[in-house]
Amino acid sequence: MSNTTQVNPQVVNALEVIQHNALSGETAKLSGAGKAFQAVSQSSAIAIQDATDNLRNINTMATTAMGVAMAQMLATGDVAKYNPIIAVANTMVVNGADNFKTVGTNAGSLLNQFPIGANTPPSSNS
Per-residue pLDDT of the chain (126 residues; tens, 9 = 90+): 455 678 788 888 888 887 777 766 776 677 777 888 888 899 999 999 999 999 999 999 999 999 999 999 999 999 999 999 999 999 999 999 999 999 999 999 988 887 765 444 444 444
Residue 9, judged by CB atoms within 10 A of its CB (0-12, 13-18, 19+), counts as: exposed
Residue among 60, 55, 63, 62 nearest 104 (CA)? 55
**pLDDT at residue 120, rounded to an integer:** 46
Q: Which amino acid is at 108?
A: G
Give the pLDDT of residue 3.
Answer: 58
Nearest alpha-carbon partner for 31 in 125, 118, 120? 118
Predicted confidence at residue 17, as pLDDT, reads 82
Give the model's pLDDT for residue 75: 97
Q: Within the chain, what is the greatest distance between any pair of CA atoms? A: 107
Q: What is the pLDDT of residue 35?
A: 85
Query: Contact, 55 vs 100, CB < 8 A?
Result: yes
**Structure confidence at residue 124 (pLDDT):** 47
Q: How far is CA 50 from CA 59, 99, 114, in A?
A: 14, 11, 22
